[in-house]
Amino acid sequence: MPEPAIDAVVFDVLGTLVDEPAGIRAGIREVDPALGDSGIERLSALRQQHIDREQRRIADGVRPYVTSDALDLEAARLVADAAGVDDPDAVAALARSATRPPPRTGSTCTPTT
């Protein structure tokens, strides 16, 4: 029996090796260092609600497909607006924080920039 051709290999490391929520919280903290833990959690929840809602809209065919980078940037703008921050560089850094999380304690994963 011939072996099947492999088209792609996918590694899902978020939540296993990489702590994505911690990266997002760190990004929010950088946008507004005066926020306490409850403020960071509130803005993190706001971000996640936006991502979840827009992904559902895409899956339902209500919204055209966009990349996760585009959704992260939308969510970053929403969070920055809620924090009263209008610095485009800060918004861009916040959008990237979702993909630049710190590794989980004990993992050997080292995120690259």
Helix (H) or strand (E) holding 2: none
- The reported pLDDT for the residue numbered 3 is 84
| pLDDT surpassing 70 at residue 108 | no
Which distant-in-sequence residues (6+ apart) come within 8 Å of 98 by Cβ? 20, 23, 24, 27, 68, 72, 75
DSSP state letter for 4: P
Provide the residue ranges of all domains of the chain, joining segments of one domain with +.
Answer: 20-97
- The reported pLDDT for the residue numbered 87 is 95
Region 61-85: mean pLDDT is: 96
| pLDDT surpassing 60 at residue 109 | no
Region 84-90: mean pLDDT is: 95
Give CA–CA dist 55/71, Å, rounded: 8
| pLDDT surpassing 60 at residue 110 | no
| pLDDT surpassing 80 at residue 112 | no
| pLDDT surpassing 80 at residue 98 | no
pLDDT band at 13 (very low <50, low <70, confident <90, very high): low
Could you tell me the pTM of the whole model? 0.77
| pLDDT surpassing 80 at residue 53 | yes
